[in-house]
Structure 1
Amino acid sequence: GFLTDIFPEDLLTSSSLLALAGVVVGFIIVHLGTLISIEEFKRQWKTFVIGVSTVIGIGIALLVAALIFGERAPGGYEGVASALDFVIAGTGSLSGGTISVLIIQEAALGIGLTTVAVFPVLIAALQGLVGFPLTSIILRKEAQRLKGEYRAGRLQAPVQVEAAGAAPATKLPPAFRTTAGTLFVVGVAVLVALGINNLTDGILNTFVVALILGIALRATGVFKPAILSGIDAFGLMMIAIMILIFGPLATVQPADVAALAFPLFLAFLFGIAGIALFAGLVGKLLGYSVPISIAIGLTSLYGFPGTMILSQEAAKGAGESADEVAAIEGDILPKMIIAGFSTVTITSVVVTSIIAAGIGS
């Protein structure tokens, strides 16, 4: 649309949608924090460790690719990007989701490296296409292994102890449970995160602090789980975020995108190799099977709800009875859910916030 002049180049800036998106990013990060249960992380600490190792593996693998395949590449209109810039952009986007892409874009556009800002957008567009089929194949193998464990009496279906449909508790008074009240209290959390960022001169990144506040406020019962879900403004906020992500495409030429084809191929090739190597090795050391360890690592490519869907499909495909399906799903699903949060939501945001400062250096 931008290349054919159907959309004017200044469409997003003149519409003020970019300004709206910039405001709501902090709200979304606090919301992501409230999706995380500390109790479940304690039970699945091995999965969390594998998820962290995955992000490290991606970074190391992409650094190796940069050392092998050259030092410099076209980086946009105002500057030249080094291979390290693409390593940072690739690590953040391969290991994370929307927020990591935004962090990379902010750093790259701030110094005029438009192509580096577009690179994570292209990775994000292809992550699911690569991650879903790979994970599906691996989880099917793991599900078959678990079926054997179940039939040998070494695996049992999980016992449900929580009442279905129980309403999550929150300490907020009724006035702050409305759409306006929810936006107010989340906005206060974002302002606190911004204040801490300013007090520490950026050492404690706003996004990282907002994520931690979301986790802490859910753990203490102040915020309910998934605090923004269900409010009237949530859909608009997500639309604004997507507009912010694709904003740099307004000034990108086809030649710039074509120049990224080879770096894009290398990012996925070496990135997935790093995932398999580090996740498989660390998982094996922690007592997990290699297939589930690699599947845990691959959650960095898509996150929730893909983690849930693929786990359920693998269990249904392998199980031949309701109890068998429940046992297989009960083993795979908690690991995959926590894996998605440990890579996409937590580790990637923290790591990307730190390494993004290296773009252009």
Structure 2
Amino acid sequence: MQPIIAFTIIMLIWTVSDYVSKKTKALLSSLFVASIIFLIGFKTNLFPEDLLPTSSLLPLGQTVVGMIIVHLGTLISLEEFKRQWKTFLIGVSAVIGISVLLFTVGRLFLDTNYVLSAIAAVSGGTISVIIVQEQALNAGLISVAVFPVLIAALQGLIGFPLTSVILRKEALRIRDGVRDGSITRKAALDPAEASEKQTILPEPFQTTAGTLFVVGVVVIVSSFLSGLTNGWLNTFVIALLLGIALRATGVLKPNVLNGIDAYGLMMLAILLIIFGPLATTSFADLVELFVPLLIAFILGVLGIVLFAMLAGKFLGYSYSMAIAIGLTSLYGFPGTLILSQEAAKNIGETEDEVQIIEDEILPKMVVAGFSTVTITSVFITGILASFIY
């Protein structure tokens, strides 16, 4: 197959996936739809096995994955985390809950390699899946590499409706508080306080090429530092930390890759990495993964609920808010934004009620998504992945 044909087919798949996701209000995520299309295409021989590498997007994704992680680090405002430190701790507790239940109870039913990959996928997003998948492929464990892909494709179907129900309950609690006077509208943040310094880099390094150069250097430094620890600290974990630090010090601007010409294509290329093993997996392997998938989701969600509730009780959060925070590990941003806004609009009966509900829920949910998917999961996965063999 010619590279241009492979490239065009993949763009069509993503177009269809994005369309279906928007029409179903993200209940069917684009990742889920794309997984189904790729799976059917590969298993019916409609797509050749070399579709992804032939498109030239797969090598691009493997090259820029570290740069995307630096970008994720620059999404995180330390000031917002200071304001939402309780939320952050509940999110961390939820990921720990997933890890504890899967690593203890899960190992009674599943091979340790499946347990480790399940922890990565249930607690995190694309980056966590890529980390554990790379280790599994290096060990020649194809089915273990496919396992987190299936979890990632399906977890939104579980996380979205569960969180929607629980956030409605929290929104009702807030609305009742508004009506009895126990909850009032928060004062708007002072614009001077909200403003954040942009990059201190000279103008030539703020162009598309200059930005990619600087972020590339950060990834190279991350790889070097990882080598100094003999790989104990994963390159991606260090890249995330450097992204956070460099934003905080003004070296990198917030959302560093947003607005540059290459960002959209880079994100598409990153997402393609996780579909690679689907091309060489048999239907028999997929059927055998059904029970492990079921166990992973049951134990993962149970771990989220138990540990989030315990942390929430200790920190003074309602059970519904604490559980919703924990469930963000199943989808992350932008689901955290969408579900918060939907809950406020569906429960609030006046403009003031809607705004107060959103002000109470949205900051917690956005920070929760970063604390689970972006930070804690990447840390834990970076450590656990080395034990897959």
Structure holding more helix per residue: 2
Q: Out of 37, 52, 62, which is 2:92 matched to?
A: 52
Amino acid at match of 2:317: Y
> Which residues in structure 2 correspond to 1:173-322 (within 5 Å)?
173-322=202-351
> Which residues in structure 2 correspond to 1:1-361 (within 5 Å)?
1-69=41-109, 83-163=111-191, 169-360=198-389
Q: Is the 8 A contact 2:106 2:296 kept in 1?
A: no
Deviation larger for 14-23 or 30-39 = 14-23
Structure 1: 5+ residue runs without aligned partners?
Answer: 72-82
Q: Is the 8 A contact 2:163 2:327 kept in 1?
A: yes
Q: In 2, Cα distance between the equivalents of 1:294 and 1:167?
A: 31
Deviation larger for 1-10 or 281-290 = 1-10
Distance apart, 1:189 and its partner CA: 0.8
Amino acid at match of 2:348: G
Q: In 2, Cα distance between the equivalents of 1:36 and 1:228?
A: 13
Deviation larger for 139-148 or 319-328 = 319-328
Distance apart, 1:168 and its partner CA: 5.6
Q: Which residue of 1 aligns with 2:36?
A: none
Q: In 2, Cα distance between the equivalents of 1:42 and 1:353?
A: 25
Q: Please, what TM-score do these two structures have when normalized by structure 1?
A: 0.93
Q: Please, what TM-score do these two structures have when normalized by structure 2?
A: 0.86
Structure 2 vs 1, CA of residues 67 and 181 (structure 1 numbering), >3 Å: closer, same or farther? Answer: closer
Q: Is the 8 A contact 1:65 1:266 kept in 2?
A: no
Q: Is the 8 A contact 1:50 1:282 kept in 2?
A: yes
Amino acid at match of 2:368: A
Q: Is the 8 A contact 2:106 2:299 kept in 1?
A: no
Amino acid at match of 1:9: E
Q: How many pairs were matched up?
A: 348
Distance apart, 1:56 and its partner CA: 1.1
Q: In 2, Cα distance between the equivalents of 1:178 and 1:68?
A: 53
State the Cα deviation string for residues 271-307 of structure 1 (Å, max 9, x = none).
1111101101111111100000000000000101110
Q: Is the 8 A contact 2:305 2:326 kept in 1?
A: yes
Amino acid at match of 1:141: K
Q: Is the 8 A contact 1:189 1:213 kept in 2?
A: yes
Amino acid at match of 1:206: T
Structure 2: 5+ residue runs without aligned partners?
Answer: 1-40
Structure 2 vs 1, CA of residues 258 and 238 (structure 1 numbering), >3 Å: closer, same or farther? Answer: same
Distance apart, 1:266 and its partner CA: 1.1
State the Cα deviation string for residues 174-201 of structure 1 (Å, max 9, x = none).
2111111111111111111111112221
Q: Is the 8 A contact 1:50 1:297 kept in 2?
A: yes
SS at match of 1:159: coil
Q: Is the 8 A contact 2:233 2:383 kept in 1?
A: no
Deviation larger for 279-288 or 13-22 = 13-22
Q: In 2, Cα distance between the equivalents of 1:323 and 1:264?
A: 43
Q: In 1, Cα distance between the equivalents of 2:380 and 2:173?
A: 34
Aligned-residue sequence identity (percent) comes to 63
